[in-house]
Amino acid sequence: MVIKQVKFSTEIQVTDIANVVSKNYSNSITGFLELQRGWLFRAYSVFKDLDKYLILMSLVSRTFKSYSEYFIKYDYDQFFSINQYELKKFNIVNIAKELSISKETARRKILELEKNGLIIKNKKAIHMQKLAYNIKKPEDSIEAISKFMSNLSKLFKKNNIVINEISTKDFTLLIKKNFTQCWNYFLIFQISYLTEFKKKFFGDYETLSVWTIIAYNQNLFLNKKLNNEVKNIENIKDKYLDELFSLTGSLGLNAMTISDLTGIPRPTVVRKLNKLMKTKWIARDKNGLYHLSASETNLKELNKVRLNNINRISEMVSKFFNAARIYNV
Protein backbone atom coordinates (compact mmCIF):
# COMPACT_ATOMS: atom_id res chain seq x y z
CA MET A 1 0.00 0.00 0.00
CA VAL A 2 1.37 3.39 -1.03
CA ILE A 3 0.81 6.08 1.58
CA LYS A 4 0.27 9.48 0.00
CA GLN A 5 1.91 12.34 1.83
CA VAL A 6 1.03 16.02 1.57
CA LYS A 7 4.09 18.01 0.50
CA PHE A 8 3.68 21.31 2.29
CA SER A 9 6.97 22.47 0.82
CA THR A 10 5.31 22.71 -2.61
CA GLU A 11 2.16 24.43 -1.37
CA ILE A 12 1.09 27.36 -3.55
CA GLN A 13 1.32 30.49 -1.44
CA VAL A 14 -1.35 33.21 -1.26
CA THR A 15 1.36 35.88 -1.48
CA ASP A 16 2.71 34.45 -4.75
CA ILE A 17 -0.78 34.41 -6.26
CA ALA A 18 -1.46 37.95 -5.04
CA ASN A 19 1.78 39.16 -6.65
CA VAL A 20 0.87 37.69 -10.04
CA VAL A 21 -2.71 38.98 -9.85
CA SER A 22 -1.38 42.45 -8.97
CA LYS A 23 1.15 42.38 -11.80
CA ASN A 24 -1.55 41.35 -14.27
CA TYR A 25 -4.35 43.25 -12.59
CA SER A 26 -6.37 44.43 -15.58
CA ASN A 27 -6.73 41.00 -17.18
CA SER A 28 -7.24 39.29 -13.81
CA ILE A 29 -9.97 41.68 -12.67
CA THR A 30 -11.71 41.41 -16.04
CA GLY A 31 -12.00 37.65 -15.56
CA PHE A 32 -13.15 38.12 -11.99
CA LEU A 33 -15.85 40.66 -12.89
CA GLU A 34 -17.11 38.32 -15.62
CA LEU A 35 -17.41 35.58 -12.99
CA GLN A 36 -19.28 37.91 -10.61
CA ARG A 37 -21.58 39.29 -13.31
CA GLY A 38 -22.75 35.82 -14.31
CA TRP A 39 -23.10 34.56 -10.74
CA LEU A 40 -25.21 37.52 -9.64
CA PHE A 41 -27.49 37.09 -12.66
CA ARG A 42 -28.01 33.40 -11.90
CA ALA A 43 -28.44 34.01 -8.16
CA TYR A 44 -31.13 36.63 -8.72
CA SER A 45 -32.99 34.39 -11.17
CA VAL A 46 -33.65 31.77 -8.46
CA PHE A 47 -35.95 33.76 -6.15
CA LYS A 48 -35.84 37.27 -7.67
CA ASP A 49 -34.48 38.08 -4.21
CA LEU A 50 -30.74 38.09 -3.50
CA ASP A 51 -31.22 38.32 0.28
CA LYS A 52 -33.17 35.07 0.29
CA TYR A 53 -30.72 33.33 -2.02
CA LEU A 54 -27.71 34.34 0.09
CA ILE A 55 -29.46 33.16 3.26
CA LEU A 56 -29.89 29.75 1.63
CA MET A 57 -26.25 29.77 0.51
CA SER A 58 -25.14 30.70 4.03
CA LEU A 59 -27.04 27.72 5.44
CA VAL A 60 -25.46 25.46 2.82
CA SER A 61 -21.98 26.85 3.51
CA ARG A 62 -22.29 26.30 7.27
CA THR A 63 -23.41 22.73 6.64
CA PHE A 64 -20.58 22.01 4.18
CA LYS A 65 -18.09 23.38 6.72
CA SER A 66 -19.39 20.89 9.26
CA TYR A 67 -19.08 18.10 6.71
CA SER A 68 -15.38 18.86 6.40
CA GLU A 69 -14.98 18.86 10.17
CA TYR A 70 -16.48 15.35 10.26
CA PHE A 71 -14.46 14.15 7.22
CA ILE A 72 -17.57 13.94 5.05
CA LYS A 73 -17.34 14.78 1.35
CA TYR A 74 -19.93 14.37 -1.41
CA ASP A 75 -19.27 14.60 -5.10
CA TYR A 76 -21.64 16.52 -7.36
CA ASP A 77 -23.81 13.58 -8.38
CA GLN A 78 -24.03 12.22 -4.84
CA PHE A 79 -25.12 15.55 -3.42
CA PHE A 80 -27.87 16.08 -5.97
CA SER A 81 -29.18 12.51 -5.70
CA ILE A 82 -30.34 12.69 -2.07
CA ASN A 83 -33.87 13.91 -1.32
CA GLN A 84 -33.09 16.01 1.74
CA TYR A 85 -30.15 17.02 3.90
CA GLU A 86 -30.07 17.96 7.52
CA LEU A 87 -28.70 21.47 7.92
CA LYS A 88 -26.45 22.53 10.72
CA LYS A 89 -28.54 24.39 13.29
CA PHE A 90 -28.30 28.14 12.99
CA ASN A 91 -29.02 31.31 14.88
CA ILE A 92 -31.00 34.00 13.05
CA VAL A 93 -28.94 36.74 14.71
CA ASN A 94 -25.72 35.21 13.35
CA ILE A 95 -27.18 34.86 9.85
CA ALA A 96 -28.33 38.49 9.91
CA LYS A 97 -24.90 39.66 11.08
CA GLU A 98 -23.04 37.59 8.50
CA LEU A 99 -25.14 38.92 5.60
CA SER A 100 -25.50 42.46 6.95
CA ILE A 101 -29.29 42.35 7.01
CA SER A 102 -31.69 43.09 9.84
CA LYS A 103 -32.76 40.31 12.19
CA GLU A 104 -36.37 40.92 11.12
CA THR A 105 -35.48 40.54 7.44
CA ALA A 106 -33.54 37.33 8.09
CA ARG A 107 -36.45 35.87 10.06
CA ARG A 108 -38.98 36.83 7.37
CA LYS A 109 -36.90 35.37 4.53
CA ILE A 110 -36.33 32.12 6.42
CA LEU A 111 -40.08 31.84 7.04
CA GLU A 112 -40.62 32.33 3.30
CA LEU A 113 -38.15 29.51 2.59
CA GLU A 114 -40.15 27.31 4.98
CA LYS A 115 -43.47 28.34 3.43
CA ASN A 116 -42.11 27.46 -0.02
CA GLY A 117 -41.13 24.02 1.23
CA LEU A 118 -37.42 24.57 0.69
CA ILE A 119 -36.46 24.04 4.31
CA ILE A 120 -38.35 22.13 6.99
CA LYS A 121 -37.94 22.83 10.71
CA ASN A 122 -39.04 20.74 13.65
CA LYS A 123 -38.03 20.57 17.29
CA LYS A 124 -35.05 18.32 16.66
CA ALA A 125 -33.68 19.19 13.23
CA ILE A 126 -33.72 21.45 10.19
CA HIS A 127 -33.76 19.90 6.73
CA MET A 128 -33.18 21.30 3.27
CA GLN A 129 -35.44 19.71 0.70
CA LYS A 130 -34.12 18.57 -2.66
CA LEU A 131 -36.35 21.22 -4.21
CA ALA A 132 -34.11 23.88 -2.63
CA TYR A 133 -30.75 22.73 -3.94
CA ASN A 134 -32.18 21.42 -7.20
CA ILE A 135 -33.82 24.74 -8.15
CA LYS A 136 -30.73 25.81 -9.99
CA LYS A 137 -27.89 23.33 -10.18
CA PRO A 138 -24.65 25.31 -10.35
CA GLU A 139 -23.50 23.89 -13.69
CA ASP A 140 -22.97 27.33 -15.22
CA SER A 141 -21.27 28.67 -12.11
CA ILE A 142 -18.90 25.70 -11.91
CA GLU A 143 -18.04 26.26 -15.58
CA ALA A 144 -17.44 29.97 -14.92
CA ILE A 145 -15.23 29.32 -11.86
CA SER A 146 -13.30 26.68 -13.80
CA LYS A 147 -12.74 29.06 -16.71
CA PHE A 148 -11.52 31.79 -14.36
CA MET A 149 -9.11 29.40 -12.64
CA SER A 150 -7.89 27.99 -15.96
CA ASN A 151 -7.10 31.46 -17.29
CA LEU A 152 -5.20 32.23 -14.10
CA SER A 153 -3.22 29.01 -14.52
CA LYS A 154 -1.77 30.43 -17.76
CA LEU A 155 -0.47 33.44 -15.85
CA PHE A 156 0.79 31.24 -13.02
CA LYS A 157 2.70 29.01 -15.43
CA LYS A 158 4.44 32.04 -16.94
CA ASN A 159 5.43 33.08 -13.43
CA ASN A 160 6.55 29.58 -12.35
CA ILE A 161 3.83 29.12 -9.73
CA VAL A 162 2.52 25.99 -11.45
CA ILE A 163 4.31 23.61 -13.78
CA ASN A 164 1.46 23.11 -16.24
CA GLU A 165 -1.64 25.01 -17.27
CA ILE A 166 -4.89 23.46 -16.03
CA SER A 167 -7.81 23.29 -18.44
CA THR A 168 -11.37 24.43 -17.71
CA LYS A 169 -12.45 20.81 -18.11
CA ASP A 170 -9.97 19.58 -15.50
CA PHE A 171 -11.02 22.22 -12.99
CA THR A 172 -14.67 21.30 -13.58
CA LEU A 173 -13.88 17.65 -12.87
CA LEU A 174 -11.97 18.62 -9.72
CA ILE A 175 -14.89 20.69 -8.39
CA LYS A 176 -17.51 18.07 -9.20
CA LYS A 177 -15.47 15.23 -7.72
CA ASN A 178 -14.94 17.20 -4.49
CA PHE A 179 -18.15 19.21 -4.67
CA THR A 180 -19.04 19.97 -1.04
CA GLN A 181 -15.44 20.92 -0.32
CA CYS A 182 -14.68 22.99 -3.42
CA TRP A 183 -18.09 24.64 -3.70
CA ASN A 184 -17.70 25.88 -0.15
CA TYR A 185 -14.37 27.53 -1.05
CA PHE A 186 -16.38 29.69 -3.40
CA LEU A 187 -19.39 30.24 -1.11
CA ILE A 188 -17.23 31.41 1.80
CA PHE A 189 -15.47 33.89 -0.47
CA GLN A 190 -18.64 35.07 -2.21
CA ILE A 191 -20.64 35.70 0.95
CA SER A 192 -17.78 37.66 2.48
CA TYR A 193 -17.08 39.66 -0.69
CA LEU A 194 -20.69 40.61 -1.47
CA THR A 195 -21.54 41.43 2.12
CA GLU A 196 -18.63 43.83 2.50
CA PHE A 197 -19.56 45.74 -0.67
CA LYS A 198 -23.20 45.86 0.36
CA LYS A 199 -22.46 47.01 3.90
CA LYS A 200 -19.82 49.62 3.08
CA PHE A 201 -21.13 51.07 -0.16
CA PHE A 202 -24.48 50.05 -1.62
CA GLY A 203 -26.97 49.10 1.11
CA ASP A 204 -28.57 46.16 -0.72
CA TYR A 205 -27.49 43.36 -3.06
CA GLU A 206 -29.62 44.45 -6.03
CA THR A 207 -27.96 47.88 -6.05
CA LEU A 208 -24.59 46.12 -5.87
CA SER A 209 -25.59 43.94 -8.84
CA VAL A 210 -26.56 47.00 -10.91
CA TRP A 211 -23.29 48.77 -10.06
CA THR A 212 -21.29 45.62 -10.85
CA ILE A 213 -22.69 45.51 -14.39
CA ILE A 214 -21.76 49.14 -14.98
CA ALA A 215 -18.27 48.53 -13.57
CA TYR A 216 -17.88 45.35 -15.63
CA ASN A 217 -18.86 47.16 -18.83
CA GLN A 218 -16.51 50.08 -18.18
CA ASN A 219 -13.70 47.68 -17.28
CA LEU A 220 -14.04 46.01 -20.70
CA PHE A 221 -13.29 49.36 -22.33
CA LEU A 222 -10.32 49.93 -20.03
CA ASN A 223 -8.91 46.44 -20.53
CA LYS A 224 -9.12 46.83 -24.31
CA LYS A 225 -7.38 50.20 -24.07
CA LEU A 226 -4.59 48.81 -21.90
CA ASN A 227 -4.07 45.76 -24.08
CA ASN A 228 -3.69 48.10 -27.07
CA GLU A 229 -1.10 50.03 -25.06
CA VAL A 230 1.00 47.03 -24.08
CA LYS A 231 3.48 49.12 -22.13
CA ASN A 232 0.74 50.07 -19.66
CA ILE A 233 -0.83 46.65 -19.11
CA GLU A 234 1.48 45.61 -16.27
CA ASN A 235 1.60 47.21 -12.84
CA ILE A 236 -1.70 49.01 -13.40
CA LYS A 237 -2.93 47.90 -9.97
CA ASP A 238 -2.19 51.10 -8.04
CA LYS A 239 -3.75 53.48 -10.56
CA TYR A 240 -6.49 51.16 -11.82
CA LEU A 241 -9.45 53.05 -10.34
CA ASP A 242 -8.15 56.39 -11.58
CA GLU A 243 -7.89 54.92 -15.08
CA LEU A 244 -11.30 53.24 -14.84
CA PHE A 245 -13.23 56.26 -13.59
CA SER A 246 -11.50 58.72 -15.94
CA LEU A 247 -12.51 56.91 -19.15
CA THR A 248 -14.47 59.15 -21.49
CA GLY A 249 -16.67 58.61 -24.53
CA SER A 250 -19.89 56.72 -25.17
CA LEU A 251 -19.18 53.78 -22.88
CA GLY A 252 -22.23 53.58 -20.62
CA LEU A 253 -25.30 51.34 -20.54
CA ASN A 254 -28.99 52.21 -20.64
CA ALA A 255 -31.47 51.01 -18.03
CA MET A 256 -33.00 48.34 -20.28
CA THR A 257 -29.62 46.77 -21.03
CA ILE A 258 -28.75 46.76 -17.34
CA SER A 259 -32.08 45.06 -16.62
CA ASP A 260 -31.34 42.39 -19.24
CA LEU A 261 -27.84 41.77 -17.89
CA THR A 262 -28.87 41.57 -14.22
CA GLY A 263 -32.28 39.93 -14.64
CA ILE A 264 -33.72 42.65 -12.38
CA PRO A 265 -36.95 44.30 -13.66
CA ARG A 266 -36.41 47.65 -15.35
CA PRO A 267 -38.48 49.72 -12.84
CA THR A 268 -36.35 48.32 -10.00
CA VAL A 269 -33.17 48.99 -11.99
CA VAL A 270 -34.23 52.62 -12.51
CA ARG A 271 -34.74 53.04 -8.75
CA LYS A 272 -31.32 51.55 -8.06
CA LEU A 273 -29.71 53.78 -10.70
CA ASN A 274 -31.26 56.86 -9.11
CA LYS A 275 -29.95 55.72 -5.73
CA LEU A 276 -26.44 55.23 -7.18
CA MET A 277 -26.49 58.68 -8.75
CA LYS A 278 -27.71 60.26 -5.51
CA THR A 279 -24.92 58.57 -3.54
CA LYS A 280 -22.35 59.61 -6.19
CA TRP A 281 -21.36 56.21 -7.55
CA ILE A 282 -22.48 56.69 -11.17
CA ALA A 283 -23.55 59.42 -13.58
CA ARG A 284 -25.83 59.59 -16.63
CA ASP A 285 -24.71 61.19 -19.89
CA LYS A 286 -26.83 63.20 -22.34
CA ASN A 287 -27.78 59.98 -24.18
CA GLY A 288 -29.22 58.39 -21.05
CA LEU A 289 -26.28 56.01 -20.63
CA TYR A 290 -24.98 55.24 -17.14
CA HIS A 291 -21.26 55.11 -16.36
CA LEU A 292 -19.00 55.10 -13.31
CA SER A 293 -18.50 58.40 -11.56
CA ALA A 294 -17.53 58.70 -7.90
CA SER A 295 -16.88 61.37 -5.33
CA GLU A 296 -13.33 61.63 -4.02
CA THR A 297 -14.42 60.09 -0.71
CA ASN A 298 -16.16 57.16 -2.42
CA LEU A 299 -13.16 56.53 -4.65
CA LYS A 300 -10.75 56.55 -1.72
CA GLU A 301 -12.83 54.09 0.30
CA LEU A 302 -13.45 51.84 -2.72
CA ASN A 303 -9.73 51.69 -3.42
CA LYS A 304 -9.00 50.46 0.12
CA VAL A 305 -11.49 47.61 -0.25
CA ARG A 306 -10.30 46.83 -3.79
CA LEU A 307 -6.69 46.42 -2.68
CA ASN A 308 -7.73 44.24 0.27
CA ASN A 309 -9.78 42.11 -2.11
CA ILE A 310 -6.65 41.12 -4.02
CA ASN A 311 -5.70 39.07 -0.97
CA ARG A 312 -9.25 37.78 -0.48
CA ILE A 313 -9.45 36.60 -4.10
CA SER A 314 -5.94 35.12 -3.86
CA GLU A 315 -6.88 33.13 -0.74
CA MET A 316 -9.83 31.55 -2.57
CA VAL A 317 -7.74 30.88 -5.68
CA SER A 318 -4.97 29.27 -3.62
CA LYS A 319 -7.46 26.76 -2.19
CA PHE A 320 -8.53 25.64 -5.66
CA PHE A 321 -4.97 25.37 -6.95
CA ASN A 322 -3.71 23.53 -3.88
CA ALA A 323 -6.64 21.12 -4.20
CA ALA A 324 -5.62 20.60 -7.84
CA ARG A 325 -2.04 19.97 -6.68
CA ILE A 326 -3.06 17.44 -4.01
CA TYR A 327 -5.43 15.57 -6.34
CA ASN A 328 -2.87 15.60 -9.18
CA VAL A 329 -4.98 17.59 -11.63
The amino acid occupying position 208 is L
User: What's the CA gap between 236 and 159, in Å, rounded?
Assistant: 17
Model pLDDT, residue 232: 53
**pLDDT over threshold 90, residue 304:** yes
Query: 190 in a domain, yes or no?
Result: yes
In sequence order, the 6+-apart residues with CB closer than 8 A to the CB of 241 are 299, 302, 303, 306
Query: 123 in a domain, yes or no?
Result: no
Closest CA to 183 of 307, 63, 53: 63
Query: 131 in a domain, yes or no?
Result: no
Q: How confident is the model at residue 11 (pLDDT cuts 50, 70, 90)?
A: confident
Q: Give ∠ CA 268-272-276 in degrees, rounded to 5.
A: 170
Count CB neighbours of 266 within 10 A: 14
Model pLDDT, residue 76: 96
Query: 7 in a domain, yes or no?
Result: no
Model pLDDT, residue 137: 85
Model pLDDT, residue 6: 64
In sequence order, the 6+-apart residues with CB closer than 8 A to the CB of 226 are 26, 232, 233, 236, 243
Helices (H) and strands (E) in the chain, counts: 15, 5
User: What's the CA gap between 98 and 262, in Å, rounded?
Assistant: 24
The amino acid occupying position 292 is L
Report the range of poorest mean pLDDT among 61-65, 178-182, 231-235, 305-309. 231-235
**pLDDT over threshold 60, residue 163:** yes
Q: Give ∠ CA 255-304-218 in degrees, rounded to 5.
A: 30
Residue range(s) defining the domain that contains residue 23: 13-49+136-326
Query: 23 in a domain, yes or no?
Result: yes
Task: Read off the DSSP letter of residue 70.
Answer: T
**pLDDT over threshold 90, residue 148:** yes
Q: How many domains does the chain have?
A: 1
pTM of the predicted protein model: 0.92
Q: How confident is the model at residue 133 (pLDDT cuts 50, 70, 90)?
A: low
Query: 193 in a domain, yes or no?
Result: yes
The amino acid occupying position 153 is S
Q: What is the largest CA-CA distance in the chain?
A: 72
Phi and psi at residue 234, to the nearest 5°: -90, 155
Query: 112 in a domain, yes or no?
Result: no
Query: 77 in a domain, yes or no?
Result: no
Run of H or E including 314: helix 296-326
Report the range of poorest mean pLDDT among 37-51, 61-75, 242-256, 310-324. 242-256
Cα(first)–Cα(last) distance of the chain, in Å? 22
pLDDT, tens digit, 9 for 90 and up, residues 189-201: 999 999 999 999 9
